[in-house]
Structure formats: structure tokens, C-alpha cells
Amino acid sequence: MPGNSRAAPISIIVPVLDEAAMVPGMLAALRDFRARGCEVLVVDGGSRDATAELTRGSADRVLVATRGRASQMNAGTAAAQGDILLFLHADTRLPEKADALIRAGLAASGRAWGRFDVRIEGRHPLLRVVAGMMNLRSRWSGIATGDQALFMTRAAFDAVGGFPPIELMEDIAVSGRLNRISPPLCLYDRVTTSGRRWEKNGVLRTVVLMWWLRLQYFFGVSPGRLARAYRSGKIASRILVFARAPVAGEVKTRLIPALGAEGAMRLYGAMARQCIATAVQALSGAVQLWCAPGVTHAFFAQAQAEWGVSLHAQADGDIGLRMSAALRAALGEADAVLLIGSDVPSITVDDITAALAALAAGRDAVFVPTLDGGYALIGLRRHDPRLFESIAWSTPQVMAQTRERLCELAWDWLELPVRWDVDEEADLAQLAADPKLAHLLEQGG
């Protein structure tokens, strides 16, 4: 099936989902292509951030389709006008004259489809090796991945029935079908794709995971099952522990009548150490200690030396503003983030594991409520400052008001079993009665 003729119009179809950080730059990079007559269609899969709004005015059409790259790309094709279809990921940039290269290559080769070589952008030295292996494997196997910017004639797309409606491996599946029509045109010119998923989750770990998934697909494992394995295997997580410098008279002041300023300080320090140790046991190597009022106190340096946690200074403002800022920063480098207080010794490794599992399964948020009406743990996969606005912090209304915000945001959240924190004198009796935690009270004296 020959590639289409001279000056065949090209439709660039971009499936997106929660890519507000990427789409402005991506669409700016496509401006010259539009000026040369290419059509750009963005197909949103139900983003909950500002992705759809940011695309308007910078694309020829913005469509909404059922979530999933296959269904989104098929929907884009149904609305496209071009005789040649180019499928582009939001974090991938085309070479400068990609449209001319595609037209000339298809016309000269008589092939029906193809892809570019890829360069992976990032700091890790292995990314160049990974990209080279991807390009060699693709030439040898005739299979292309979405990162390589697949293109094909509309006739070829129609002949294979488009992308199969599967959750994962749609690029592998359509490549196999297209190979029955013609071998791929493998252009040496390179697209540039982001290395964010490799760097977030570990280069070697990501490579092994993707090879394992492809092997499983080859042996007939369902794409739905593979999609679940991919989602659980790729999630990068962080635990943030909020702590104050243990200074006599400045921490746990409501316990001073019972314990004295020094005793309240020692108890707080013991609880903070317990919390850090629990977090490290649950997710070693990914725990951050967020410190107030700064990171210079000896307690924080000791924690870093003992457990290898990284130190970060809390922002200014009330607890809501400080949590919001820390969570936003951590979500810039991880898929899921938990934040826990340092005065809830009843938090367990199982609580943390369950919270991370809930986020890995797709929940927007997870909480561990406390008996006093607040919460001891908050976990997020996404950030919205409205979640922390107009909350009566340090009152029994905190969790109830947070639920109202979650409903307003239409988020899907999970609440784990209620735990207790240590704020008042009455809480000391509960601490003393717990055989696993009573030693903390003894340290308070």
C-alpha cells in the first residue's frame, strides 16, 4: 500500500491526560507545523487539571474521548482531515521538518507507516543507551512504540481497524497489524521524548518492567492485567514527615502542666523519632523530613545521619499553607505522596502501606482520621490548593471540612481506620496503656 502523494495533508493527533505542565510547550513546538498546513488535534481523556483549557486556541481542535490512548487516538483520527496521521505523545518533540520527512519518506519507499528514531531527554547517562537500544530493537523487530511518534497513511489505519481498544500495548499491537501491510519506514531523524518516567522510577527498573510486560504480552497475558501491573510497578512515592525542632516550651505546650516544659519536649522528640522510624521502615530511601523553623537544629541533623532522610524547610504560614507547599513540591518528583505528623505514635507501617496501595490503585487522596476530628496522614496523587483553604485548623472540624472540599473537587478518596494523636493531658493515659508505645511516655519523664 503506497504512501500518499505529494503534499499529502498531515493530521497530528495528541492524546493527553493531566498534562497541564507539558501541553503549552508541546503546542508551541507545533506552531510551525500548523503554519505549514498540518492539522493539530488534541484529544483529552478526562483531565482533572487545566490541560483542556491550556490547549484551546493553540490546536485546530480539542476533543474529549474515553480515557486510554487507544480510544483517544481513534477518536482523533475520526475527526481528522489528513491523509497521513501522526500520533504524538504530549512529552515528545518532533524534529524540525518532520512533516516533510514523513511525506518524502512514505512517497519514496512505498511504505504505509513508520516511526522516528528517539532520543530520551534527561540527566541520567543510561538514557542514551536506552534510546539506542529502542531504536535498534525497533529496526530488528519492525515494532514501534508511541515514544517514537508513529505515523501512517489513513488507508493503512483503516485497513488494520485503528488502534485496538486495549489499556496497554496499543502501539505494539497496531505495529504487528501494520507489518502485515508493509514493513515500517524507520527514519533516522530523532524525536526527543522526556525521560521523566525513567528518572522518577529508576532507569534500570523501568527498562526491566517494560521488557517484562512486553514478554508477558507476547505470551498472551491480557492487556488489562498488564496495565494494572504497569500502574503498580511504576508509581514513585515519597513520605513527608512534618516535625518541629524539639525546644523546651515551644512544643506540646498543652502537655506542660502534666510533664513540665522539658518533659513535653522529650516526649515530642521521642514521638517524632518513632514516626520517622516507622516511615523509613515502610518506604526506605524515600522519606523527607520537613522541618520547622528551618533545618539547622541538631535533632534534624541527627535524624538525617541515623535514617538517611532528606531535610527540607517548611514554608511560612498556617499548617494548611505549609502542608500544601510541601505536597506540591513533592508531587513534582513523585506520583504519590504521603504526609504524616510527628505526634501520632499510633500510625503503623500497615497504615502507610495501605495508604500507598490506595494511591497506586488510583485514588486521588487517602486519609487517616484522628479521634479529635483531624487527620494524622494525608496522601495525594494530585495537588489542589483549595483542599487546604478555609479549614479551621487545630479544631474538631478539620476532617469534616476537608471532606466538604473533597466533595467540591469531585475527588475519589479513602479513609483508613481512625488513630489517636497526643495533644492533651487526657491522651497521655492512652499512650501509657499501649504496651508498644508506653516507652515513649517514659522518655518524657
Q: How large is the average pLDDT for residues 170-176?
A: 87
Quick one: pLDDT at residue 57? 80
Quick one: pLDDT at residue 35? 92
Quick one: pLDDT at residue 201? 57
Whole-angstrom distance, CA of residue 354 vs CA of residue 416: 8
pTM as predicted:
0.51
Nearest-10 crossing angle of helices 425-433, 256-282: 50
Quick one: pLDDT at residue 218? 60
Taking all residues of the chain, what is their mean pLDDT, rounded to a whole number? 85
- Phi (first) and psi of residue 409, to 5 degrees: -80, -10
Whole-angstrom distance, CA of residue 225 vs CA of residue 35: 42
The candidate with the shortest Cα–Cα distance to 109, out of 152, 148, 77, 80, is: 152
Of the pLDDT bands very low, low, confident and very high (cuts 50, 70, 90), residue 105 is very high
Residue 4 pLDDT exceeds 60: no
User: Which amino acid is residue 144, in one-letter code?
Assistant: A
Strand 39-44, strand 10-16: pairing: parallel
Q: How large is the average pLDDT for residues 288-295?
A: 93
Q: How large is the average pLDDT for residues 163-182?
A: 86
pLDDT tens track for 124-142: 777 788 888 888 988 988 8
Q: Say what percent of the chain tops pLDDT 90.
A: 46
Quick check: 300 and 289 in contact, CB under 8 A? yes
| First-residue to last-residue Cα distance in the chain | 84
Lowest mean pLDDT among 36-40, 147-151, 170-174, 431-435: 431-435
Show the cell assigned to 398: 478539620
Residues with Cβ within 8 Å of residue 16, at least 6 apart in sequence: 22, 23, 42, 43, 44, 45, 47, 51, 55, 72, 90
Quick one: pLDDT at residue 353? 83
The candidate with the shortest Cα–Cα distance to 414, out of 377, 372, 374, is: 377
Quick check: 245 and 255 in contact, CB under 8 A? no
Quick check: 271 and 343 in contact, CB under 8 A? yes
Buried b (16+ CB within 10 A) or exposed e, 22-53: bbeebbeebeebeeeebbbbbbbbebebebbe
Whole-angstrom distance, CA of residue 86 vs CA of residue 90: 13
Lowest mean pLDDT among 255-264, 301-310, 330-339, 424-433: 424-433
Residue 211 pLDDT exceeds 80: no
pLDDT tens track for 224-256: 555 555 555 545 688 999 999 999 998 888 888
Residues with Cβ within 8 Å of residue 255, at least 6 apart in sequence: 263, 264, 267, 422, 423, 424, 425, 428, 444
Whole-angstrom distance, CA of residue 401 vs CA of residue 116: 51
Quick check: 241 and 337 in contact, CB under 8 A? no
Quick one: pLDDT at residue 386? 94
pLDDT tens track for 368-405: 999 989 999 999 989 999 999 999 998 999 999 999 99
Q: How large is the average pLDDT for residues 84-92?
A: 93
Residue 118 CB-half CA count within 13 A: 31
pLDDT tens track for 43-70: 988 877 778 778 878 899 999 888 788 8
Lowest mean pLDDT among 77-91, 281-295, 366-380: 281-295
| Three-state SS letters, the chain | CCCCCCCCCEEEEEEECCCCCCHHHHHHHCHHHHHCCCEEEEEECCCCCCHHHHHCCCCCEEEECCCCHHHHHHHHHHHCCCCEEEECCCCEECCCCHHHHHHHHHHHHCCCEEEEEEEEECCCCHHHHHHHHHHHHHHHHCCCCHHHCCEEEHHHHHHHCCCCCCCCCHHHHHHHHHCCCCCCEEEEEEEEEECHHHHHHCHHHHHHHHHHHHHHHHCCCCHHHHHHHHHHHHCCEEEEEEEECCCCCCCCHHHHHHHHHHHHHHHHHHHHHHHHHHHHHHCCCCEEEEEECCCCCHHHHHHHHHHCCEEEECCCCCHHHHHHHHHHHHHCCCCEEEEECCCCCCCCHHHHHHHHHHHHCCCCEEEEEECCCCEEEEEECCCCHHHHCCCCCCCCCHHHHHHHHHHHHCCCEEECCCECCCCCHHHHHHHHHCCCCHHHHHHHC
The residue among 288 and 57 whose pLDDT is bigger is 288
pLDDT tens track for 179-199: 999 999 999 999 998 876 665
Of the pLDDT bands very low, low, confident and very high (cuts 50, 70, 90), residue 2 is very low
Lowest mean pLDDT among 43-57, 140-154, 422-436: 422-436
